[in-house]
Structure formats: structure tokens, C-alpha cells
A and B are shown apart, each in its own frame.
Chain A
């Protein structure tokens, strides 16, 4: 299992543009790029009412769980997952082995329409992640001059 690569500003701008374009075309209200361990990588849209960090974690773990279920019945091809709501629905699409595209959209938009717009966006995200992965390594975070004594007790209990 590979790792999700580091993104630089150019990558993030590109991902942001892809997600915003997707929102505009598809009428989705929120688009998240999520790493499958549960990390929120980037978000676009939303009204600030959704806790996107928690949403990303729940989404990735739900996706992983259903993928595991599918594998138990011999299904190796698991590319998307859909939750139908009364007002908003959620669609999650595989981007690559490490990441997902998570979309929240109003229920008047059909899931077929959402998939139609989201599939090429997922492919474009995959291409950008591959570019970042090819470059990865040169941008490692050098902590060698960090004073470890300053990080002995990061978290303190309230008085």
C-alpha cells in the first residue's frame, strides 16, 4: 500500500480548481478530497455547517468498511458508494488506492448525473496525485534541527 504524496501549493491550487469546477457543473454543495486513513486533504463548497474533518473521517472509514464487505463476497472492483438522503445525499468515489472524492449534493440532483460529472473529476484528481507522487521525496519535512525538549509535553491538562 503506497502513501498519499505531499502536495505543494501548485497541486492544491489545481485540486481546488478541479473541485470548484465540479461543484459548479454538478450542483453538488460540498466536495472533499479525503485520504483513506481518514485525513481531509482539501475541501470546496459547503456552508461551514458541516464539520468536514469528522465528515471526512467517517466517510473514509465507511468506504473502507464497505470495500472490505465487498471483498468478502469476492468483489474486487469497488469504485463508489452512495448514501441516499431526504435532503442531501452523499457519493464517494475512489480516486486511487489512497484517496477518495466525497460529494454532498441536494436530492433533486440524481446520482447518475452526479456520477457523470464526478467520474472525470476523480480521474483528473488521480492524474494530479500521480504528478505529486512522482515528485515526492524531494519535499520531505526536515525536522533535524527541531529541539526535541520543546515537544516533550505537547498536551497539558487544564488546571
Chain B
């Protein structure tokens, strides 16, 4: 959960990009890292990827990003991805520790629908194993790869993945072209700050 350091006037928040294998989680982070406007270079840390030799995420990708000061507090967002492959589910649990907000990156193609559903269920199970209630965590749905052929209509994706009483905000994206990447990031940061507004950072 978010960390406040009253002495250094810092608020630290953890956002995890979660989704099936090859859905574009790492690409989201790479695009933010490459294209985000920062007031100075110190505001954007190095993008660290623990990947296999074939560039598949093995453990996680990570980079720290500072936002404007909020009420005098420097707000630092730690952006993580989890490995998409099912065999790394234990690793996903480890990366989810202390998560404040989640971006679920779904692959919009029909052929990936079963994986999307299975991974979304794993997400909820993993949060449960960490005693985190999914409903308590701000979550944004990103329907990625909209630029590829054979993608399902957004209405279908909404029905399959976002069919709940309180729907998660969702965005269409083509992360490799940076489309939808910043919209998604800004929505999750906005939801987190609104949550802090309503609940306080600490109860």
C-alpha cells in the first residue's frame, strides 16, 4: 500500500500492469518511459527489465516516475509489470505485494479471449491470497492491440471481461503506437488520487 514519508514529503504509490502473455504490458511501460514529458531527467528512473533471452518478462519490469508535487508531497509512482506466462504465477503474486492500482492489459484478439479470462481470474485469486479485496483496488481495463486484425468488438470485450455491477474504466489501445497508453496511465493515477481523496492515504 502507498507509503507516506512525512519527513521527506514523499508519497509512493505502486501500479502493476497485469495481463496474459504478450498482451503488451512491457510495451506500455516502454512507451511511457520513452514518451513521457518530465520536468527534469531525475523525475524518470531507469526502466529495469528482468527478462529471458527472448525478451519475455521473467520476473518484472519496473520504472519509477515522479509526478507533480501534490500538497507539497512529491508523488512517486512505481510502475511494474508481471510475467504473463502462467508458469510464473508465483512470481506475479510476489510483484503484487503492496499494490495500490492495477492496469489489466487484455489482448483484443478473439484467439486470446480464453487467456484473458483465465488471467483475470488469476489476478483476483492472487489478490485474495494476499488478503486484498479486488473491489478495493482501483483497476483500469485496457483493450490492447486494436491495430491488429481479428480483434473482438469492444462491446464483446466489455461483456466478457468487465461485466460487473461497477464497471472498470476501459480504454482501447495500440500500445506499440502509444495509442491509449497515456489515457490508461492517467486514468489509473486519477483513480488512485481520488481514492486517497475519499479514503485518506491511511485510515
Chain A residues within an 8 Å CB radius of B59: 61, 65
* Contact between chains at A61 and B95 (CB < 8 Å): yes
A64 to B32, alpha carbons, bound, how many Å? Answer: 27
Chain B residues within an 8 Å CB radius of A37: 1, 3, 14, 97-99
How close is B185's CB to chain A, nearest CB, in angstroms?
A: 6
Say if the beta carbon of A154 comes within 8 Å of chain B.
Answer: yes
Q: A38 contacts which of B32, B62, B71, B189 (Cβ < 8 Å)?
A: B62
A11 to B97, alpha carbons, bound, how many Å? Answer: 25
How close is B88's CB to chain A, nearest CB, in angstroms?
A: 11
* Contact between chains at B62 and A11 (CB < 8 Å): no
Q: B186 contacts which of A11, A36, A41, A155 (Cβ < 8 Å)?
A: A155
Say if the beta carbon of A68 comes within 8 Å of chain B.
Answer: yes
Chain B residues within an 8 Å CB radius of A12: 5, 7-8
A146 to B75, alpha carbons, bound, how many Å? Answer: 14
Q: A35-B98, A54-B46, A65-B59 are in contact. Are A139 and B6 (CB under 8 A)?
A: yes
Q: How many residues of A contact B (CB 8 A)?
A: 43
How close is A140's CB to chain B, nearest CB, in angstroms?
A: 4
Q: How many residues of B contact A (CB 8 A)?
A: 55
Say if the beta carbon of B154 comes within 8 Å of chain A.
Answer: no
Q: A6-B202, A143-B200, A155-B185 are in contact. Are A68 and B90 (CB under 8 A)?
A: yes
Q: Which secondary structure dominates where chain B touches chain A?
A: mixed
A36 to B96, alpha carbons, bound, how many Å? Answer: 11
Q: B45 contacts which of A11, A53, A141, A158 (Cβ < 8 Å)?
A: A53
* Contact between chains at B97 and A64 (CB < 8 Å): yes
- B binding-site residues for A, Cβ under 8 Å: 1, 3-8, 11-12, 14, 32, 35-37, 45-46, 48, 50, 59-60, 62, 64-65, 67-68, 70-71, 73, 75, 78, 80, 90-91, 93-95, 97-99, 130-131, 178, 182, 185-186, 189-190, 193-194, 196-197, 200-203
- A binding-site residues for B, Cβ under 8 Å: 1, 3-4, 6-9, 11-13, 35-39, 41, 51, 53-54, 57-58, 61, 64-65, 68, 136-137, 139-144, 146, 148, 151-158
